[in-house]
Structure 1
Amino acid sequence: MDTPTTAPSVAVSLMEKRYQLDRTLGKGGMGEVFVAFDRLERSWVALKRVHIPNEDKDDYSSAVRASLLLSLAQEFRLLGTLRHPNVISVIDYGFDSQQQPYYTMELLNNAVHILKAASGQSLPVKIGFVMQLARALIYLHRRGILHRDLKPANILVSQNQVKLLDFGLALGQGQKHTETVGTVAYMAPELIRGKPASERSDLYAVGVIMYEMFAGRHPFDRSSINKLIEQIVNATPDFTLLRAPDAVVQIIAALLSKDPSQRPADAVALLQELGGAIRQPVRVDTLGTRESFLRAAAFVGRDAEISKLKNALTQTVETKNGAGWLIAGESGVGKSRLLEELRQVVHHLARVRRARVVHAQHDAR
């Protein structure tokens, strides 16, 4: 999909007086994704608008609605903290005039799902896509985040760069496994048996995707949900259908093992095995991924400052009395990082209290 070069002349729909919806990118049971023009930043973005059922009109309970809202809030909270070359970047979020939530993301040029991008490509290109996916998982898993819904539709490729998206089912560090969730066709056998998600259940999904990439079909019979579930739990895929070297077949077979302990130990091990399969030296941390860990590292040691500033912001919004704060310190003590952390607090508070946030920079020259 080509990014438009000029702003649309007529708004199909205007959200928050800022986002001008141009056309639909995709539609599903829970919402839609649009190409939108950000009139404030004068840039094109992808806008995901999620339909949260109205308990009065749609015969949904308040508990169901609350659960869906929580899922979206979880997705934004996670995406808003992630900074990695192979993970989609979130820009803004809010609610439209019907109080339906939305958020905006970077718009990917000519993006297609990973299987379509890999179709007809050479072995190194295909493996390269999976290696990028493995790097994204290394980043997530090191931060204690399980994706839990890896599938081709959630892995896009734009200009040969893999982008992982859709974190509505992701589970962060410290959160409890309360239910089995995901897309059945990509769920590991232990999840179907009711076991908790793990890094290795994410890796199982990578195995299913790789099987599809090299066989041109799913490893199991998807003609009925019962047959699919039975085969995921009990059947062995036909690995003779894979059009790939033995080393790649062995990796896929290990990823699809019914026993999680027989799969690669983690995404780092998978990355190294993939590099070995195409005789390519692998650096676990590239310059881009090292920078991503620094930008998204946990913010520690400034709880008191953040709490004081957050309380001041809340009081300002509630009393409508302005205030000014000066953050000063020597170079390198963390002023910019403190402001970045505060920016996330400000945006959340603004969305809840329906306040407007203005950013500005001062040229000291």
Structure 2
Amino acid sequence: MSLPAIPTLSTCEKCLNKYTNVAHNWCKPCQINNLKENFTKWTSKNKEIDDFIKQQQLQIKTNNDAIFEWIPYNKFNIIKTMNYPIAIWNDGPLKFNKDTKKYERISKEKVSLIYKSNSENIINEFSNEIKKYQTLIYNDLKIYGISQNLDTKDYILVIKSEYCEKCGKKYTDARYNWCYPCQRDFLKNFTNWNSGNKIIDDFIQSMRPYISTNDYNAPIFEWIPYDQFNNIQQIGEKGIANLAIWKNGPLHYDYLGRKEWIRELDKKVCLINYYEIIVATNEFLYEIIQYLYNEQIYGVTQNPHTKNYILVFQNKYCENYCKMCGEKKHTILCNPCIMNNLKENFTKWTSENEIIDDFIKKRQLQIKNYHDTVFEWIPYDQFYNIQIMRKDNFVTAIWKNGPLKFNMNSKRKSDKKVILKYSYNLQSITDEELYSTENCHGISQDPDTKYYILVLQSKYYCKKCGKKYTNTNKWCNPCQLNILMKNFTNWNSGNDNINDFIKEMQLKIGDCNDVVLEWISYDQFNNVEQVGIGGFSTVYSAIWKNKEYKQVALKCVHGSQNVKADFLNEVKIHLRLLQLLQQSLRFGNVRFLNVHGITQEPNTKDFVIVLEYAKGGSFNNWIAKYKGFSWRNKLIILPSIINGLDGIHKNHMVHHDFHTGNILLDEREFSVESQKIFISDMGLCGEIGNTDETKLYGVVPYMAPEILRRKPYTQAADIYSLGMIMYFLATGRQPFAGRDHDHYLMLDICEGIRPKINAPEAPQCYIDLMKRCWDPNPDNRPNTTELKGMINLFWDSINLCGEGRYDIRDQFTEAEAYRKSLLHIKSNESNKSFNSQITQANNYTSRLIIYNTNNHSSDDFSDCAIAD
């Protein structure tokens, strides 16, 4: 019997399923139902239009998508007629509010009205117009719905206004009502200031036309009257740098709010005095220009008394000046000032032991910056609330005055909890290898026992054993291993090999993020449902009761009742990769499925690997959503796959069975930017429990020709498989679709036959790179580093940034236009054809290839059989 779902902060209150977008409390299924329930509350009085609007509404994917609506014409106030009429939509569009968990209207929205004649092909006209606004790179322009002029009866597509009210030209960026020519002219004519110096005035005026085309939030360089500054605070002795409050504050474009120029009142700023400059020289103006490119500088002012010029920066710029001497040192406190301060204090303390005093002074003079802990002599009477921590020489205490912190002044953080480690001899105290100033405050001495004491920072040491934490998360490896060992008697798999393996893996954990492999009783799982089947395993989804009803995947390995090395090897490789993932950033956005533990199916007695569940299924299952794979999206998702393979290769491993069925996705809905990608089946280097050289395991269309010839498996073979994944990503078709996976196909692959593809179905540069991955000579195939570089070049090109090239951008633009032209054809395919495509994708699962002879030179493959 299934248990009811338990509501959590991440589950929808209405359906109790996990929110589609947890951060915004947005549940797609419930919102779709709400839209359906609202269908009867509006009508255009044209069934074809109504159906089109309903279809558009049901295609929402995220909480940021605009809700496509029927909008009565009387809801608009026409304000200007240009290329398209501009109007104010009084009610405004619907926007999802994550706090109320409802759609609410944003009133007085400015929109453009695109008129369409009331023709027989009105739906096609609207569809084509909508596609026109879905550009290759960005799809941010909101399309709100359809209306109808009551007089002319013309239908109208309502979109967020993309035309500037002032000049009538298209906004540079309609998302923020940003018209670069108008904003540039506004600033050029912004003359409500006067420095009293024509050179300065002309310089500032000349800077105005050079505002960034799309850096909407960049501050504007201006002349600032000196009386605009309050609360001026000198930094250091020389007074070069000063903190101040600018009353009116800097001028910037409010692109997220009012879409106009505003001032940020009472802004904290940094004033840098140029005492030697009272005349604006070319050298001074040139220095300002350098700051304009490298720093966020607000403007220039002049002290009315000294007449020297002052540059006005963001307040954080003052952090470049030492707070003691005032010199520009690129740090809040410079090292010489800290050293001088400590040296001046040497005469104010003593341990009454010359060796200890010299040791402490030496440690103090090793400080490199103001963040470092100051190593001190600490009188014993500074400690109170002393408590025994454990039986040996560790106690906890509260340090009354607390450690010294260098900031604006030398201050102490009082009542600091510390650990006191007693030492019975002087040598151990002065042994520099035992501790560092990073985790030690200093030395003290018990006046009764005369034992010296190391005063340690409590945050670095375990409260149970007194040993230093293994990492900064206050995780103690020895204590955690003790807990696991004590728990060994509380579980039993009934199989000594499994028991020993789990214990071995548990005792290898070395970090708080490492997976603790468990034996999990099968009765801990509810709602067990089959989700996939392969040649040697069946995968089920299940709910794990003891883990707050967490959904997991159960990989049941056929014939594993008698545990063999390969079964345990798969688990071991998964754990190894997860550990490497914690230690390295080379994997990018790709992940490997967490391994929670091992269980056993009570009926078949097969052992089962309990894995993290990927809700989106395999890449194969995404064929139904192929229309969502714009070329921009493909260039987002492909690097994640390459990064995963790169991480495997950099760790001197190979995948052996790389194909679309082993690439899993975390989310069911299509959202490439937030999608987590998993690479699975890392442990299958052959048939489970069998390493016979006469047998191979894989998906024939993804297998490199040298592997089919039974040559050793190399990283280049994985690259060949990646090339076939690139083909699937480009076309939505499996390689060699429609062909049997038999020895005839194997023969064709070895003779150089590859899937057919030509531009503009894919950009020619992409095809060329893909075909290099297919090269029959493994030495000619690119490695993952080169592949990453090429994909980055493609991305830079479509965005026209970095080293991007126009010829590459044009190829991707042509391919995207071709893809969109096929969408209408694909959407009209019959269900029968679609189901056939899904069935074909499901046939692309790994299978056993059995060679009946040991003749490695045979190229006709007549001696092999492929298991069903």
**TM surpasses 0.5:** yes
For 2:677, which of 146, 149, 162 is the aligned residue? 162
Counterpart for residue 294 of structure 1: none
Counterpart for residue 351 of structure 2: none
Counterpart for residue 103 of structure 1: 609
For 2:764, which of 207, 227, 246 is the aligned residue? 246
For 2:566, which of 57, 71, 85 is the aligned residue? 71
Counterpart for residue 227 of structure 1: 744
Counterpart for residue 279 of structure 1: 796
Counterpart for residue 551 of structure 2: 44
Aligned counterparts of 2:741 and 2:608: Cα–Cα separation in 1? 34
Q: TM-score, normalised by structure 2?
A: 0.28
Aligned counterparts of 1:18 and 1:127: Cα–Cα separation in 2? 41
How far apart are residue 129 of structure 1 and its match?
Answer: 1.8
Supply the AA of the counterpart residue of 2:711: K
1:253-332 maps to which residues of 2 (within 5 A)? Answer: 253-264=771-782, 266-279=783-796
Aligned counterparts of 1:149 and 1:201: Cα–Cα separation in 2? 9
| Residues 35 and 181 (structure 1), Cα distance of their counterparts in 2 relative to 1, 3 Å cut | closer
More strand per residue: 1 or 2?
A: 2
| Residues 53 and 74 (structure 1), Cα distance of their counterparts in 2 relative to 1, 3 Å cut | closer
How far apart are residue 81 of structure 1 and its match?
Answer: 2.0
How far apart are residue 20 of structure 1 and its match?
Answer: 2.5
1:194 aligns with 2:704: no
How far apart are residue 123 of structure 1 and its match?
Answer: 1.0
* 1:173-224 alpha-carbon deviations (Å, 9 max, x no partner): xxx9956432222110111122111111001001011112223434447235
| Residues 219 and 105 (structure 1), Cα distance of their counterparts in 2 relative to 1, 3 Å cut | closer
Aligned counterparts of 2:616 and 2:786: Cα–Cα separation in 1? 31
How far apart are residue 17 of structure 1 and its match?
Answer: 3.1
More helix per residue: 1 or 2?
A: 1
1:151 aligns with 2:649: no
Aligned counterparts of 1:218 and 1:16: Cα–Cα separation in 2? 37
For 1:86, which of 591, 594, 605 is the aligned residue? 591
| Residues 153 and 5 (structure 1), Cα distance of their counterparts in 2 relative to 1, 3 Å cut | farther
| Percent identical residues | 22
Aligned counterparts of 2:619 and 2:699: Cα–Cα separation in 1? 16
SS of residue matched to 1:167: coil
1:211-226 maps to which residues of 2 (within 5 A)? Answer: 211-220=727-736, 222-223=739-740, 225-226=742-743
How far apart are residue 162 of structure 1 and its match?
Answer: 1.4
Number of residue pairs aligned between Structure 1 and Structure 2: 256
Asked whether the 8 Å contact 2:700–2:741 carries over to 1, the reply is no
Aligned counterparts of 1:231 and 1:128: Cα–Cα separation in 2? 33
Asked whether the 8 Å contact 1:177–1:196 carries over to 2, the reply is no
Structure 1, unaligned runs of 5 or more:
8-13, 55-64, 283-365
| Residues 186 and 101 (structure 1), Cα distance of their counterparts in 2 relative to 1, 3 Å cut | same
Aligned counterparts of 1:79 and 1:231: Cα–Cα separation in 2? 34
* 1:84-122 alpha-carbon deviations (Å, 9 max, x no partner): 442222111133334311111112233341672672211
| Residues 139 and 224 (structure 1), Cα distance of their counterparts in 2 relative to 1, 3 Å cut | closer
Aligned counterparts of 2:551 and 2:728: Cα–Cα separation in 1? 33
Structure 2, unaligned runs of 5 or more:
8-519, 582-589, 668-674, 803-868
* 1:141-173 alpha-carbon deviations (Å, 9 max, x no partner): 1222211101111101223221110124249xx
Q: TM-score, normalised by structure 1?
A: 0.62
Counterpart for residue 356 of structure 1: none
1:124 aligns with 2:639: no
SS of residue matched to 2:592: coil
1:170-209 maps to which residues of 2 (within 5 A)? Answer: 170=685, 178=693, 180-209=696-725
Asked whether the 8 Å contact 1:115–1:213 carries over to 2, the reply is no
Aligned counterparts of 1:253 and 1:53: Cα–Cα separation in 2? 40
| Residues 28 and 170 (structure 1), Cα distance of their counterparts in 2 relative to 1, 3 Å cut | closer
Aligned counterparts of 2:778 and 2:558: Cα–Cα separation in 1? 36
135-144 vs 83-92, greater mean Cα deviation: 83-92
Aligned counterparts of 1:219 and 1:28: Cα–Cα separation in 2? 19
Aligned counterparts of 1:16 and 1:220: Cα–Cα separation in 2? 41
SS of residue matched to 2:681: coil
> Comparing both chains, which one has the higher relative contact order based on Cα–Cα distances under 8 Å and sequence gaps of 6 or more?
1
Asked whether the 8 Å contact 1:34–1:47 carries over to 2, the reply is yes
Counterpart for residue 59 of structure 1: none
Counterpart for residue 504 of structure 2: none
Aligned counterparts of 1:80 and 1:15: Cα–Cα separation in 2? 20
For 1:16, which of 522, 544, 553 is the aligned residue? 522
Counterpart for residue 31 of structure 1: 537
How far apart are residue 53 of structure 1 and its match?
Answer: 6.6
Supply the AA of the counterpart residue of 1:226: H
SS of residue matched to 2:697: coil
Aligned counterparts of 1:139 and 1:5: Cα–Cα separation in 2? 38
Supply the AA of the counterpart residue of 1:165: S
Aligned counterparts of 1:204 and 1:169: Cα–Cα separation in 2? 18
| Higher-Rg member (1/2) | 2
Aligned counterparts of 1:192 and 1:112: Cα–Cα separation in 2? 25
Supply the AA of the counterpart residue of 2:772: A
Aligned counterparts of 1:205 and 1:245: Cα–Cα separation in 2? 20
* 1:283-325 alpha-carbon deviations (Å, 9 max, x no partner): xxxxxxxxxxxxxxxxxxxxxxxxxxxxxxxxxxxxxxxxxxx
88-97 vs 106-115, greater mean Cα deviation: 106-115
SS of residue matched to 2:653: coil
